Amino acid sequence: MRIFKKPFGGGLNKKKKSIPDGLWSKCPKCSNLIFNKILMENLQVCPKCEHHFSISCWDRVEQLVDKGSFVEMDERLSSQDPLGFSGPKTYQQKLEEATKSTGLKSAATTGQAKIDGKAVALAVTDSRFIMGSMGSVVGEKITRIIEFAIEKSIPLVIVSGSGGGARMYEGMLSLMQMAKTSGALSRLKGKNIAFISVLTNPTMAGVMASFAGLGDVTVAEPGALIGFTGPRVIKQTIKQDLPKGFQTSEFNQEHGFVDMVVHRRDLKATIAKLLYYLA
């Protein structure tokens, strides 16, 4: 008679130990598994390939400004539904879902702060809120922070991260924000007040074609997608292969559109130096 022994370790009946959710993140560039604590300590940059993860507006504020110096402005402004837009989901449903998941009322957070002791007017767009797209509230908040910089005669820093451009759910009211923000920046320039534009992944479409592209100095994080229309659409339109690295920060710097590409760990120090020189 043949005797079957139990497989070593309990065999197939042994329950596998599960890994708790929320402990690890997978790098979308190199597929490296990163312990979230290490990722946070590394400013949410992959320690293997240095891919810069997208981060929230609050993480950005914490990384860039002097501790305790940020005072938020216009935080109660929220979008309306002027067109009564309806699709698989209504615009109002999308706004409610974005607010619930992010805790924000719009894709832009603005306020005054200090960077290395220097007072600045600061705006940060957050790609988590309907892709960071620019509706009437985003345009209004950006315009107001520009006007605040003019009133106080302090430099302006805008960190952009928008994959959505102008927000189609608001139609022409959204497109108008491109002209409104650009006009406000023209008045800022007339007062000889510095504007540093920081481009992160992604900065595209109407945002890129308006305030994000008008900095006195344009800084970008490594590997960010920067342009108007995405590379896939361009390739389908012109029926040609695109250059390697097309629309990345490095490609844009090589062709003169971006002044410098700066690693996230060096971003605050770089902005502080620029504020000193531009003053």
Three-state SS annotation for 233-260: HHHHHHCCCCCCCCCEHHHHHHCCCCCE
What pLDDT is recorded for position 244?
75
Count of other CB atoms within 10 angstroms of residue 268: 16
Question: What pLDDT score does 144 carry?
Answer: 97
Token code pair at residue 82? 């002027």
Query: How far lies 35's CA from each of 20, 30, 61, 83, 229, in Å?
Result: 12, 15, 23, 44, 34
- Confidence (pLDDT) at 44: 85
- The pLDDT tens digits along the chain (279 residues) read 555 455 555 555 555 555 556 788 898 888 889 888 889 888 888 988 888 988 889 999 999 999 999 999 998 898 888 888 888 889 899 899 999 999 998 989 999 999 999 999 999 999 888 888 888 999 999 999 999 999 999 999 999 988 777 888 888 898 999 999 999 999 999 999 999 999 999 888 888 889 999 999 999 999 888 888 767 777 777 777 776 767 788 988 888 989 999 999 999 999 999 999 997
Predicted pLDDT of residue 177:
92
E-assigned strands of 129-238? Answer: 156-162, 195-204, 217-220, 226-227
Give the separation between CA 244 and CA 19, rounded to whole angstroms: 38
Angle between the N-to-C axes of helices 136-152 and 172-190, in degrees from 0 to 180, rounded to the nearest 10: 10
Six-digit token string for 22? 């929320």
Q: Give the residue extent of every domain in the chain.
A: 21-53, 55-278
Quick one: pLDDT at residue 243? 67
Q: Which pLDDT value is given to residue 12?
A: 53
Q: What is the pLDDT of residue 21?
A: 63
Q: What is 55-278's CATH number, 3.40.50.970, 3.30.1490.190, 3.90.1150.10, 3.90.226.10?
A: 3.90.226.10
Question: CA torsion sign, 49 to 55 to 58 to 64?
Answer: positive
DSSP letter at 19?
A: P
Return d(Cα 204, Cα 209) in angstroms, integer: 8
